[in-house]
Amino acid sequence: MDQLQNVILALQELEQDPSTPRNVKARLASTIKVLNEKSETSIKVSKALHELEDLTEDSNVQSYTRTQLFNIVSLLEIV
């Protein structure tokens, strides 16, 4: 399985977490949709990184969720 698929699986897992707020779940779903697009990988990764950076600054995101987001961002940066 390639690195991008691992990132998508991690995002889906976080999205399905019952403790994740609805607005955060919606942004995670949007990020997953971007990563599944049929466009150039670098463009998809750039869009996803921007979305995830915004999420890490969201006050509704709990600290352990934010840590998971940082881990996903670091995975995306090496794609």
The two tokens of residue 31 are 């990020």
Structure confidence at residue 2 (pLDDT): 87
pLDDT at 1: 52
Question: What is the average pLDDT across 5-25?
Answer: 92
For 16-60, how does the pLDDT look when each residue is reduced to its tens digit (9 = 90+)? 999 888 989 999 999 999 999 998 999 999 999 999 999 999 887
Q: Residue 19: its pLDDT value, please? A: 87
**Structure confidence at residue 10 (pLDDT):** 94
Q: How many beta carbons lie within 10 A of that of residue 13, not counting itself?
A: 13
Residue 1: helix, strand or coil by DSSP? coil
Specify the pLDDT at position 17.
92
Domains of the chain: 3-77 (1.20.1440.50)
Q: Say which amino acid occupies 32.
A: I
If we measure between CA atoms, which residue out of 21, 17, 18, 27 comes closest to residue 55?
Answer: 27
Token pair in block for residue 70: 């940082």
CA R_g for the chain: 12
